[in-house]
Chains A and B, each alone.
Chain A
Amino acid sequence: MDTSTLESQLRSDNFVTYESPYTLYSMAISSAAASHRRIALGSFVEEYANRVDIVTFDEETLSIKPIPNLSFDHPYPPTKLMFHPNPKVSGDILASSGDFLRLYGVRENSVEQISVLNNSKSSEFCAPLTSFDWNEVEPRRIGTSSIDTTCTIWDVEKGVVETQLIAHDKEVHDIAWGEAGVFASVSADGSVRVFDLRDKEHSTIIYESPQPDTPLLRLAWNKQDLRYMATILMDSNKIVILDIRSPTMPVAELERHRGSVNAIAWAPASWQHICSAGDDSQALIWELPTVAGPNGIDPMSMYTAGAEINQLQWSAAMPDWIAIAFTNKMQLLKV
């Protein structure tokens, strides 16, 4: 068993690498039906001039090719990229967050900026956005999270703010939709809160980090089983699994990373698998056990990359492949 897995590790038909000229951070996999899957890669350069490159992945030949026509400039590094969850045949849409929420129409041979959405009525400047999530059930809705403690819900078809909520006491770091009108967010105030747009006055605190004010950095809501969500803490090797039915007490804490965790993604086709990636260069796939043992939970399988893994995507469009980003490389790993 050992040797066979080792061999498979050495064989190159189970992973593909793409090297970008830039350090990569944000990444998105297109849901558009196409012979070659499109993947958007956002550069991370600490200045104004940044790029978004779009590459295609050919699953037959296991090759990744850039499409120079579809590369475009982006002001500052995008904090997140995401394709339209249900794109029309006529054209795919890519959204990015950063200084503004921007929408780009991705055509066959060109990309054009469709809109720059600014939620501030008083100023031409929008509070910087840390992340956003596109509502799969209601694709006209995008929720953005900002360092000004608010979350903004956009109607992107009309290009207007649907609502803006003061979500937390401190910077909001991530946002994730559960249902059409329910979203959750994590913040530097250390809490995970759930909001229902039908009752904007109230939010429910699902979790608070054990040491007060340990910032929570990212959030992933299990789309296969909405009872579960996962979050990661600053400077922590833990992935905290939450069950919305038992607030404040996590159902599991996954602690086998040997460095801090940078990214998490639930499996698109299974309710109990989650992938995580961290500073220990490892991507771990976990199977949530039905019962938690006294010695904690071991991951099911692991992949070791060449450096700290900064980004992770596991898309329903391509459930057999997990995409990771480290340094200037993007790798697709066969699950």
Chain B
Amino acid sequence: MENLRQKLAMAVKSIQWSYAIFWSISTAEPGVLTWCDGYYNGDIKTRKTLQAEEMKDDDEDELGFQRTEQLRQLYEVLSVSAGGEREPQTRRPSAALSPEDLTDTEWYFLVCMTFEFTNGQGLPGRTLAKNSSTWLCNAHFADSQVFSRSLLAKSASIQTVVCIPYLEGVVEFGITAMVLEDEDIIKQIKAFISDPATQKVVEIPLELELEYDQTLVTKATHNSPKNSLNHHCFQSQEQSWQFVDDEEEGEEISVYHNNNNNNNNNSSSSSDCISQNLVSGPSNLWTEDDSRYQSVLSKIFNNTQRLILGPHSRSCSYNESAFMSWKNHNGMELERNRKGSCSQMLLKKVLFEVPKMHEHEDDTKNLNHRFSLLSSMVPCRGKVDKVSLLDDTIDYLQTLERRVKVLESNEDRKNKKSQQHDMIQMQERTCDNYYGNKRKACCDVEDLQVEEEEEESCSSDCITVSAIEKDVTIEIRCRWRENMMVQVFYAISSLNLESYSVHSSNVDGILTLTIESKLKSCTASTAKMIRQALQRVIGRSCSSF
């Protein structure tokens, strides 16, 4: 075996390709090609040396062989942990390498160890069948029926593969570059490997290896128990691999062992599977290879992953799960991507709208704060709702404006006229003056009142009530009728108002009345109430027109 590997090594090094594999006809199953030996000559990511067998660092050859051997060991370790049939004690000691140390090409080489080919199947099988060398360019794009490992090759960037019949099997060489068919290379390879001295010796695969293959094939024909690993490429394996310590591994493997019993009961031997494979015909080759590839990978990967999962994943009876396998229900195509307005509705409301509710509330709070400030400035008359507060504020402002006017004109008069001026005359004039100026403001209030009080029918009527503490000023402008004054005063006195100054005028049937009065008690009426009461009086007059 060493001899064979050395020859493969020399050949692959001389042509500077990435790897060499010798596929030999299995002794257990005639006609089936299995991995016998190989030599890896490609890129290496991390080099590890076992402390036990220290090497001279400069010995390139030795290191090359060591790498290939380590890859083989890693494969065996992984296969052991994958093989449910295997008793834990037969496990090999841990490999020098762990999966995260491997490049994509090394992975390709390692996974190749799991492959086997019947006569005429795949690249090695066909090479054996027609007994002549096969040169495959663009292996990574090849049809899977031509080259069943094309997907793997793609991930490892293997582009060119050559198979040459050799002894009781086929040698295969591959490289990560595009190399056009070249007879010289084939000759060169043949020259290296066809040493007549070794021709008689054909290495029989280790018993162990055969068992691995059986194991893997047995599982390959069943759907992978977990469908999670689909079409793998080896792009990021360096990030995610984790190994667990031996104790944990032991536990979990026994669990896995149990799980696998089902599978094994269903299929008796690997030869069954292969015959199925053949019967199913070439059209199914891909799916077979595909599922096989998947299951090989999921065996290798999942076992290590499963260990970390702990008892909470599927190890405690998968059947009890409320979740069902995704794959099984993937067939039914539902409508795709219901995006749009109703997408993430609640989540968006929580993130985008609920905060605005708070913000809005903030505004309201701020507003309320200002209202309460306002109400502390404007004389308050019991009711605290915002509309009456605004009404009061308007009234108050009007009163203030009027007072300002009065004071201003008082000042003027003081300056311009004599001190003995008749007070009453002055006040009458002031009122006239005021009326002329305030008409516009009165109309605004009137508009408000029309909106507010439906019963108000006479649009020319106007009642303004303003109150500063207990001083209430009432202005009425309406059509004159008999008894109107009496009714107004009656209403005023029934509202606990004591009038002390009254000015009235009647021009062209329009009565203008200004009453200054005092509230008798504090329990009494708000400006609004007074206005409404007077409205009723005047309203009566309106209806009587």
Contact = CB atoms under 8 A, between A and B. Distances in A.
Bound together: yes
Contact of B343 (A13, A235, A251, A319): A235
Contacts of B232: 289-293
A280 B338 contact: yes
A271 B233 contact: no
Interface in B307-354: 308-310, 312-313, 316, 319-330, 334-340, 342-351, 353-354
A128 B359 contact: yes
Interface stretch (A177-185, A206-214, A258-266): A258-266
Interface in B171-188: none
A99 B232 CA distance: 47
Given A272-B305, A279-B338, A280-B334, A302 B351 contact: no
B173 to A, nearest CB: 25
A299 B324 CA distance: 11
A290 B305 contact: yes
Interface string B222-238: 01001111111111110
Contact of B228 (A218, A261, A280, A289): A289
Contacts of A1: 223, 325, 328
A298 B346 contact: no
Given A289-B301, A292-B235, A5 B325 contact: yes
B350 to A, nearest CB: 5
Contact of A308 (B230, B328, B346, B350): B346
Nearest to B359: A128
B308 A272 contact: yes
B52 interface: no
B12 to A, nearest CB: 26
Nearest to A125: B362
Contacts of A261: 344
- The interface centre, meaning the residue of A9, A217, A270, A290 with most chain B CB atoms within 10 A of its CB, is A290
A14 B329 CA distance: 19
A293 B231 contact: yes
A298 B330 contact: yes
Interface residues of A, number: 78
Nearest to B231: A293
A292 B312 contact: no
A319 B310 CA distance: 11
B87 interface: no
A79 B344 contact: no
Given A4-B319, A13-B320, A300-B228, A217 B344 contact: yes
Contacts of A59: none
Given A258-B334, A293-B231, A9 B310 contact: no
A41 to B, nearest CB: 14
A300 to B, nearest CB: 4
A310 B350 CA distance: 11
Contacts of A237: 337, 339
Given A5-B328, A251-B236, A77 B354 contact: yes
A98 B339 contact: no
B355 interface: yes
B321 A235 contact: no
B296 to A, nearest CB: 13
B361 interface: yes
Interface string B150-164: 000011000000000
Contacts of A245: 239
A111 interface: no
B322 A292 contact: no
A258 B335 contact: yes
B287 to A, nearest CB: 14
Nearest to A332: B322
A260 B343 contact: yes
Contact of B339 (A23, A227, A235, A320): A235
B324 A46 contact: no
B293 to A, nearest CB: 11
A267 B308 CA distance: 12
Contacts of B354: 46, 76-77, 79, 98, 128
Contacts of B365: 125
Given A303-B322, A319-B312, A76 B358 contact: yes
A130 B321 contact: no
B221 to A, nearest CB: 14
B309 A269 contact: yes
A262 B347 CA distance: 6
A300 B227 contact: yes
Contacts of A98: 354, 358
Nearest to B304: A290
Contact of B358 (A128, A288, A299, A303): A128
Nearest to A257: B337
B52 to A, nearest CB: 29
B234 A298 contact: no
Contacts of A273: 309, 313
B490 interface: no
Given A125-B365, A234-B348, A283 B323 contact: yes
A27 interface: no
Interface string B478-497: 00000000000000000000
A25 interface: yes
B241 interface: yes
Nearest to A145: B351
Nearest to A295: B231
B328 A2 contact: yes
B357 interface: yes
Interface string B352-391: 0111111101100100000000000000000000000000
Nearest to A299: B326
Contact of A270 (B228, B313, B356): B313
B240 interface: yes
Interface in A121-158: 125, 128, 130, 147
B358 A99 contact: yes
A77 B338 CA distance: 26
B350 A258 contact: no
B308 A301 contact: no
Interface in A267-319: 267, 269-273, 279-280, 283-295, 297-303, 308, 310, 319
Nearest to A16: B322
Contacts of B241: 290
Contacts of B301: 289-291
B321 A298 contact: no
B226 A287 contact: yes
B228 A269 contact: no
A8 B308 contact: no
B231 A130 contact: no
Interface string A219-259: 00000000100000011010000010100000100001011
A270 B230 CA distance: 20
Given A25-B346, A279-B344, A300-B326, A292 B313 contact: no
A309 B110 CA distance: 43
A335 B347 contact: no
Contacts of A293: 229-233
Contacts of B323: 283, 285, 301-303, 333, 335
Contact of A320 (B228, B233, B312): B312
A292 B240 CA distance: 11
Contacts of A234: 344, 348
A34 interface: no
Contacts of A104: none
Contacts of A320: 312, 316
15 contacts: A5-B319, A5-B325, A14-B321, A25-B346, A25-B350, A44-B346, A125-B362, A235-B339, A259-B337, A259-B338, A270-B313, A291-B235, A302-B325, A310-B347, A335-B313
Interface of B: 99, 154-155, 223, 226-237, 239-242, 301, 305, 308-310, 312-313, 316, 319-330, 334-340, 342-351, 353-359, 361-362, 365
Minimum-distance CB pairs A-B, first 5: A128-B355, A293-B231, A301-B323, A333-B322, A14-B322
